[in-house]
Structure 1
Amino acid sequence: MTAKRRTLHNAPILDAALGRTPSRRPVWFMRQAGRSLPEYREVREGIGMLESCFMPELLAEITLQPVRRHDVDAAILFSDIVVPLKAAGVAVEIVPGRGPVMDKAIESRQDVDKLPMLEEDVPEVAAGIEIILGELSDSQTLIGFAGAPFTLASYLVEGGPSKNHEKTKAMMHAEPETWHALMRRLTPTIIAFLKAQIAAGIDAMQLFDSWAGFLTERDYRDHVLPYSTEILAALAEDGIPRIHFGVGTGELLGAMSEAGSEVMGVDWRVPLDRAAERIAAASGPRALQGNLDPAMLFAGEEVVAKEVARICAEADAAIAAGTATGHIFNLGHGVLPHTAPEAITRAVEIIHEH
């Protein structure tokens, strides 16, 4: 499939990601496409989460809603971490109030060997991307998305969301050969899913490791980093900025940056200038993405303005010090479900003033 790459002019997200000077402070929010918007709830009424990810017109509409409403500088493709598993044929459903639940958990090497792999394009997603690109301006970036292999593996081994990841860690340490076989089986599926999005025309991509923050740096390096590195390396030739983000990963930022992305996402727990020092010491300066605490959007405009100013100052200090190459404003995780849409819109206006 031939890539349908757009030529973008004055796209702040791409400029910041690639170390150029953007025309304004770029901003997009994780989970901006979804739960907080009344128009989202309206169009998705009666339609399952995973089902909506495979309906091109609906996928496109949900992706575009926050761009129209908030004037963010990027659309993030509406998807879910388990979409590539579903596309490959894994029996998984998203249970309201709980999250992705597997029909059968991975418990043995035999289960790993039977795990379906994604070996073709996902035409529904490609069709949705084509619709989205038709509406975005040439200054607005479309960011593709995939879950990282550790997070997918944890869902598969636990059978669904887990508070402690005990089965995952037990397999990792007690059955390392089975663990590595699972990671080797997941990695090509994630690459194929991202390659399909790139071929359809996305402008940048994010590899999202929801659960990596539950690991020690040693375990991350031994059991996860090689596979995330392989994924990002496989996309290097495609020439789009690669963003790497995990939740609760302050102690892993240096190790995660070694996977090779142009942009490192930082959650709200670590100041950006300190995060930049950790990243630069491990692998050289990168562009930073982050990192407003999502809860601050409930605290009122004065608090948001103060926090935005602080975060921008930290990012600018890191750039001036040579420990970062650019800054893309974002939350330190996703938009919370009950966030007032007006608070998001106003936050974007404040960020663009910096």
Structure 2
Amino acid sequence: MVPGKGPVFPNPLVTPEDIQKLNATPDVSKELGYVFEAITLTRHKLEGKVPLIGFSGAPWTLMSYMIEGSGSTTFSKSRFWVYRYPEESKKLLSILTDVIVKYLVGQAKAGAQLLQVFESHGGFLDEPIFDDFSLFYLRRIASEVKQHLVSEDITPVPMTVFAKGAHYAVESLAQTEYDVIGLDWTMDPEKARNTAQKYNKSLQGNLDPAALYGSCESIAQRTTEMIRKFGGRGHIANLGHGMHPDMEPGHLNAFVEAVHKSSEELIQKQ
């Protein structure tokens, strides 16, 4: 993790032959055991005050970092793979899916109470490509994580999927085994709510993170309007993506306070 740049892969994948250099079947408990220990420790320290959310990047998003070497404005190299090397891309996505399933199962067993899968680069794909190179593997993750937990007599935890920019995929995602569909700030909550209700799904989101640059008064106003659009039920209030490093912590507090106030008012009306 490079400050100001984010995740960086010093040896990105250049050709499909580079897949052979990867350890396709790592011991997840050994390699990522420190994450599970941190989750258990955090869960104990929280003492039940707030729920603990675990997460992972989704296969396509991780694949794009592995090929680009870091973030990108176009992700042209990874999209090149999808079109030029479709079968090899699917092989890599399948390898990643297998590891992600084990990783999320481990997080749930360690104490995570909800799991979120981030397809942060989903919006770089058109709908048919998204279906084949993202949705297929997202669907596998939700199904297999829950199957593994049940097989170990562990009650499956709720799961959220967040495909940033993939407006067209809300209904497709609602038909998977995810319990919650995350929306970015460009998506219409009212339209998504109509879709989610058909499939008994909840929604999460979606205030524009840049709104936190505004005054506390404007944050409260925008948050209240957002919650109104979501309807107050079956909704996890959240930003439409992450906070930026230069944001005022107090402005996040204004968002949280506005969520509490607006939610209470909606409940009283209902």
**What TM-score do you get using the length of structure 2 for normalisation?**
0.88
Matched, 1:346 2:261: no
1:162 partner amino acid = S
Quote the RMSD (CA, aligned, Å).
1.7
Aligned to 2:175: 258
- Deviation of 1:138 after TM superposition, in Å, equals 2.5
Equivalent in 185, 189, 195 of residue 268 of structure 1: 185
Partners of 1:302 and 1:291 in 2: CA distance: 18
Identity %: 32
* Residues 63 and 93 in structure 2, CA contact (< 8 A), matched pair in contact too: yes
Higher relative contact order (Cα pairs below 8 Å, separated by 6+ residues):
1
Cα distance in structure 1, aligned partners of 2:44 and 2:13: 40
User: What's the CA shift for 1:139?
Assistant: 4.6
From 86, 97, 122, give the equivalent of 1:187.
Answer: 97
Residue 247 (1) aligns with residue 164 (2): yes
Amino acid of the structure 2 residue aligned with 1:276 = R
Which digits, 9 at most, give the CA deviation of each residue in 1:83-138, with x for residues without a partner? xxxxxxxxxxx222222222222123321132124323122112211221112132
1:106 maps to: 13
Question: What does residue 115 of structure 2 align with?
Answer: 205
Matched-pair contact (CA < 8 Å) for 2:28–2:102: yes
Cα distance in 2 for partners of 1:222, 1:136 equals 40
Q: What corresponds to 1:289 in structure 2?
A: 204
Which residues of structure 2 form unaligned runs of 5+? 150-155, 264-270
What is residue 89 of structure 1 aligned with on the other side? Answer: none
Aligned partners of 2:214, 2:223: CA distance in 1, in Å?
13
User: Does residue 312 of the first structure (1) align with residue 219 of the second (2)?
Assistant: no
- Which residue number in structure 2 is paired with residue 143 of structure 1? 53
Q: Is 2:219–2:254's contact at 8 Å kept on the other side of the alignment?
A: no
Q: Deviations over 1:24-61 (max 9, x none)?
A: xxxxxxxxxxxxxxxxxxxxxxxxxxxxxxxxxxxxxx
**Could you say which residue in structure 1 is the equivalent of 2:4?**
97
* Residue 217 of structure 2: aligned partner: 302
| Residue 170 of structure 1: how far off its partner (Å) | 1.3
Q: Is the 8 A contact 1:226 1:259 kept in 2?
A: no
Cα distance, 1:149 vs. partner?
A: 0.2
Deviation, structure 1 residue 280: 5.0
Cα contact 2:90–2:133 (8 A) shared by 1: yes
| Displacement after TM superposition at 1:347 (Å) | 1.6
Following the alignment from structure 1 to structure 2, what is the Cα–Cα distance between the partners of residues 280 and 180? 32
Amino acid at match of 1:250: H
Q: Is the 8 A contact 1:119 1:192 kept in 2?
A: no
- How many angstroms does 1:146 deviate by? 0.3
Is the contact between residue 250 and residue 275 of structure 1 (CA under 8 Å) also seen in structure 2?
no
- Give structure 1 stretches of 5+ with no counterpart: 1-93, 320-325
Q: How does 1:1-354 map to 2 (within 5 A)?
A: 94-117=1-24, 118-121=26-29, 122-237=32-147, 238=149, 239-279=156-196, 284-316=199-231, 326-353=234-261, 354=263
- Residues 94-103 or 158-167, more deviating: 94-103
Q: Deviations over 1:50-84 (max 9, x none)?
A: xxxxxxxxxxxxxxxxxxxxxxxxxxxxxxxxxxx
Whole-Å separation in 2 of the counterparts to 1:218 and 1:280: 24
SS in 1 for 2:231: helix
Kept in 1: contact 2:40–2:111 (CA 8 A): yes
- 127-136 or 99-108, larger mean C-alpha shift: 99-108
| DSSP-derived class of the 2:191 partner | helix
Aligned residues: 252
TM-score (norm 1): 0.68
How many Å separate the matches in 2 of 1:230 and 1:210?
A: 18
Q: Report the Cα offset of residue 210 of structure 1.
A: 1.0
